[in-house]
Amino acid sequence: MSVTPNPKQTINLGDIARALGVSVATVSNALSGKGRVSASLVPRIRDMAEAMGYVPSQAARALRTGKSGVLGLVLPDIASPLFPQIAQAIERAASASGYGILIADSRGDVGVQTEAINRLIERGVDGLIIVPRRGTRIASMDIPFAVIDSPSTPGNTVSADHWQGGALIGTHLALLGHRNILLIGNNPASNVQNDRIGGMRSTLSGCATVDVLWIEQHEAKHGAGALLGLAERFESGTTAFAAVSDLHALRAMTELHRANIRVPEQATITGFDDLFWASAITPAMTSVRMDMPRIADIAIASLVCAIDGKSGDEVGENTRVPMSLITRQTSGPGPVSNTHHHKRGTGTC
Amino acid sequence: MSVTPNPKQTINLGDIARALGVSVATVSNALSGKGRVSASLVPRIRDMAEAMGYVPSQAARALRTGKSGVLGLVLPDIASPLFPQIAQAIERAASASGYGILIADSRGDVGVQTEAINRLIERGVDGLIIVPRRGTRIASMDIPFAVIDSPSTPGNTVSADHWQGGALIGTHLALLGHRNILLIGNNPASNVQNDRIGGMRSTLSGCATVDVLWIEQHEAKHGAGALLGLAERFESGTTAFAAVSDLHALRAMTELHRANIRVPEQATITGFDDLFWASAITPAMTSVRMDMPRIADIAIASLVCAIDGKSGDEVGENTRVPMSLITRQTSGPGPVSNTHHHKRGTGTC
DNA sequence: CTGAAAGCGCTTACAG
DNA sequence: CTGAAAGCGCTTACAG
């Protein structure tokens, strides 16, 4: 066996200090920009660090300062629609603030969610961003945390204004001249869905006949994957189908297609969230989009603020970020639509 | 100002040791299960730790052991299809092995990808899982890493067998009796797409007329979002449209619908990846699915192995994980299909 | 079986 | 402006 002196792999402040004949404190100060260091020394130290390929030890820094520079992100289900958008926006915002993101998937289970939060805390995150599983109330904890949820949920920090988003869709449909509309939701226990439905209703009431179909209830009766009876609805006069998610809008659209009802010529379909594939549909679907970058920025900003200032408390003050309409499909309800089209711009119907 | 003795928030090994009148070494040994500790002491120490709400400091442990217990995951684009599936599977596999996952989004940019890798290393990850941006060759680094990519890409660690997946689709279509098939890809520079196309071709050649449509090339000529001319293809005899992704399959399906061509009665459409919304389509689409849990397990296992054993090298040996067919749509090519249906089971056409 | 001690790499008062 | 020293909380040989 050769006795090649195994050179230490990672070099540290001491190595730089030794190479330059100064103290580690000076090197640390020069590199961090804190404390007084003679102007002539700073560049020499910086260059040497660079040349030696110095990589600061986060572990040591974290141990010393008590801050890890890492935030935890808890999601109910990374793989289901919308959450990837959230994760991406959060990662960017955190990255821009110098933080890393540790992810945890609660798999839609409250127990797993609690466990995930604990594991994240054990890993030393400085704060937590939590997108709670439906109906979960996050108990207070020892570290700062931000909750992204519906505005109707008590205790949230920031969220899209789902009600206002619903209102955008409602107005859109009213202006197109629709007077018989079916709203399609999945689960009436969801705050987000209720807000969206409520928003749509609010701008439609009085000017259109509105009915709501809850898919889970429908499937409980007719079996999973059963037809939603949309063709029948169409026959009895419904001209617009407004779903609380692009996912359900897609289901509605294909169901109408199967009944040979043309979209958007004969019936209009709208969704929510502008999911990735929404633009792959021909013609693309009108949807409403959350401003994820802004939501993420607000969540991260309030978290960073809490970390740097006081700590151990829930942060934020229920900020509502407006949603925006992505208009892609503007047909009205068939032959009648032309008449109604002229009503555009009246605001209310 | 009151002089309330600010009690230390986090309690450590020393606190437990003091409370029990033993040394920190003994507490450490008892809690970790290493070293010899009298049987009577172990439960007392454990209970005390529990009672005091002890949470070990990862930072200190990491500093001492040189291992952070965190792995970095680099993705080209968290929000686009398929990557959320990967992220979820990786998070689960890592979590099961006691590792946390720090995410980074390379935004499809090679520069950002390199920077992201460096940042992850600076944060002290023990290893890296990289899903490289198309065409990127990952240079060797100082820490263990696993690459998830197409088998055709040199230097990958584990991947789905896209060619074999393509063969599954090809066989499926051949058995359904299709004799005139259009394969739909997006970009011929993608190894994954080429593998899938190649696999489909391999089982179809000699028994069907096969053509390939590359969407990017088509759009370069006719503009983004242009119709793909599928109705014309149908008119000239094409009965099956096999896309390299559910996303393009969706586009194809809606385009056919707009031309009043019924799916699947008149034309069959297949996709790849069994994306989240694939089952929301009526009728649901036949697709082919990667075994993400297995891919993730293999990636994590080889990484953990490299971390515990030798280190600083690329790991793994190009494992190909088979894909599986999700059959949801079994119609053949119209009136002719009945004849061909009887050929089922012949294996080759 | 148990404990005293060293040391991981850093930052931060505190002297000089 | 610069350096010596303490200490963050843990683990790991090494004595006893």
pLDDT band at A311 (very low <50, low <70, confident <90, very high): very low
pLDDT band at B207 (very low <50, low <70, confident <90, very high): confident
Q: Which two tokens stand for residue B83?
A: 């990557």
User: Does B18 map to a domain?
Assistant: yes
Helix (H, G, I), strand (E, B) or coil at B40: coil
Inter-residue contact A71 to A38 (CB < 8 Å): no
Whether residues B122 and B167 share a domain: the answer is no
pLDDT band at B135 (very low <50, low <70, confident <90, very high): low
Q: Does B310 have pLDDT greater than 80?
A: no
Q: Which residues pair with B183 in a beta bridge?
A: B212, B242
Q: What pLDDT does residue B330 have?
A: 58
Which residue, among A252, A228, A258, has the nearest Cα to A240 in the 3D structure? A252
Work out how many domains chain B is built from and give that number.
3
Q: What pLDDT does residue B334 have?
A: 54
Comparing every residue's Cα with the C1' atom of nucleotide C2, the nearest one is B26
Q: Does B86 have pLDDT greater than 90?
A: yes
* Cross-chain Cβ contact A312/B9 below 8 Å: yes
Q: Distance (Å) from the C-alpha of residue A84 to the closest C-alpha of chain B?
A: 5
Pick from B88, B124, B253: which is nearest to A79 by CB? B88
User: Does A224 map to a domain?
Assistant: yes
Q: Does A52 have pLDDT greater than 60?
A: yes
Mean pLDDT of A322-332: 80
User: Does A21 map to a domain?
Assistant: yes
- Any strand C atom closer than 7 Å to A31 CB: yes
Q: Does A331 have pLDDT greater than 80?
A: no
Q: What pLDDT does residue B47 have?
A: 92
Helix (H, G, I), strand (E, B) or coil at B56: coil
Inter-residue contact A173 to A270 (CB < 8 Å): yes
CB contact burial B166-191 (16+ within 10 A = b; e otherwise): bbbbbbbbbbbbbbbbbbbbbeeebb
What CATH code is carried by the domain that includes residue A272? 3.40.50.2300
Mean pLDDT of B221-248: 93
What CATH code is carried by the domain that includes residue A47? 1.10.260
User: Does B247 map to a domain?
Assistant: yes
Whether residues B166 and B259 share a domain: the answer is yes
Q: Distance (Å) from the C-alpha of residue A83 to the closest C-alpha of chain B?
A: 8
Whether residues A214 and A333 share a domain: the answer is yes
Which residue, among B295, B348, B231, has the nearest Cα to B92 in the 3D structure? B295
Q: Give A81-94 pLDDT, tens digit per residue.
A: 899 999 999 999 99
Q: What pLDDT does residue A151 have?
A: 79
Whether residues B305 and B187 share a domain: the answer is no
Tell me the average pLDDT of chain A: 86
User: What letter would DSSP give residue A334?
Assistant: G
Whether residues B140 and B175 share a domain: the answer is no
User: Does B146 map to a domain?
Assistant: yes
* Residue numbers of the domain that contains A41: 13-56
User: Does A275 map to a domain?
Assistant: yes
Residues in A touching B84 (Cβ below 8 Å): 78-80, 83-84, 87
Helix runs in A205-291, H state only? 215-222, 230-235, 246-258
Q: How many Cα atoms within 13 Å fall on the side-chain side of residue A230?
A: 36
pLDDT band at A4 (very low <50, low <70, confident <90, very high): very low
* Cross-chain Cβ contact B105/A121 below 8 Å: no
Region label for B272, one of left (φ > 0), alpha (ψ between -120 and 50) or beta (otherwise):
beta
User: Rounded distance, CA B247 to CA B81, Å?
Assistant: 8
Whether residues B284 and B173 share a domain: the answer is yes
Whether residues B115 and B143 share a domain: the answer is yes
Q: Does B248 have pLDDT greater than 80?
A: yes
Inter-residue contact B79 to A276 (CB < 8 Å): yes
User: Rounded distance, CA A193 to CA A243, Å?
Assistant: 9
Residues in B touching A282 (Cβ below 8 Å): 227, 251, 254-255, 258
Strands A127-130 and A145-147: parallel
* Cross-chain Cβ contact B248/A122 below 8 Å: no
Whether residues B130 and B223 share a domain: the answer is no
Mean pLDDT of B81-102: 95
Q: What pLDDT does residue A348 have?
A: 52
Question: For the purposes of burial, counting CB atoms within 10 Å of the CB of B20, is it exposed (0-12), middle (13-18) or buried (19 or more)?
Answer: middle
Q: Does B34 have pLDDT greater than 90?
A: no
Residues in B touching A57 (Cβ below 8 Å): 63, 124
Whether residues B275 and B298 share a domain: the answer is no
- Any strand C atom closer than 7 Å to A14 CB: yes
* Cross-chain Cβ contact B105/A92 below 8 Å: yes
Whether residues B197 and B332 share a domain: the answer is yes
Q: Does B337 have pLDDT greater than 80?
A: no
Q: What pLDDT does residue B311 have?
A: 45
Inter-residue contact A147 to A214 (CB < 8 Å): no
Whether residues A189 and A334 share a domain: the answer is yes
Length B309 CA → D8 C1' (Å): 29
Q: What pLDDT does residue B247 have?
A: 93
Residues in A touching B261 (Cβ below 8 Å): none
Q: Which residues pair with A211 in a beta bridge?
A: A182
* Cross-chain Cβ contact B69/A105 below 8 Å: no
User: Rounded distance, CA B254 to CA B257, Å?
Assistant: 5
Q: What pLDDT does residue A315 have?
A: 56
User: Does B64 map to a domain?
Assistant: no
Q: Which of A28-37, A123-132, A174-183 has the lowest mean pLDDT?
A: A28-37
Q: Which residues pair with A269 in a beta bridge?
A: A241
Q: Distance (Å) from the C-alpha of residue A227 to the closest C-alpha of chain B?
A: 8
Inter-residue contact B180 to B136 (CB < 8 Å): no
Length A125 CA → D2 C1' (Å): 35
Q: What pLDDT does residue B314 have?
A: 53
Q: Does B198 have pLDDT greater than 50?
A: yes
Whether residues B192 and B90 share a domain: the answer is no
Q: Does A185 have pLDDT greater than 60?
A: yes
Q: What pLDDT does residue A6 have?
A: 41
Residues in A touching B142 (Cβ below 8 Å): 9
Comparing every residue's Cα with the C1' atom of nucleotide C13, the nearest one is A35
**Backbone φ, ψ for residue A345 (5° rounding):** 95, -5
Mean pLDDT of A296-319: 78
Helix (H, G, I), strand (E, B) or coil at B129: strand
Q: pLDDT higher for A60 or B225?
A: A60
Give Cβ neighbours of residue B118 (< 8 Å, ≥ 6 apart): none
Q: What angle do CA B47, A117, A306 make, to 5 degrees?
A: 110
User: In percent, how much of chain A has pLDDT > 90?
Assistant: 61
User: Does A7 map to a domain?
Assistant: no
pLDDT band at A170 (very low <50, low <70, confident <90, very high): very high
Q: What pLDDT does residue A293 have?
A: 96
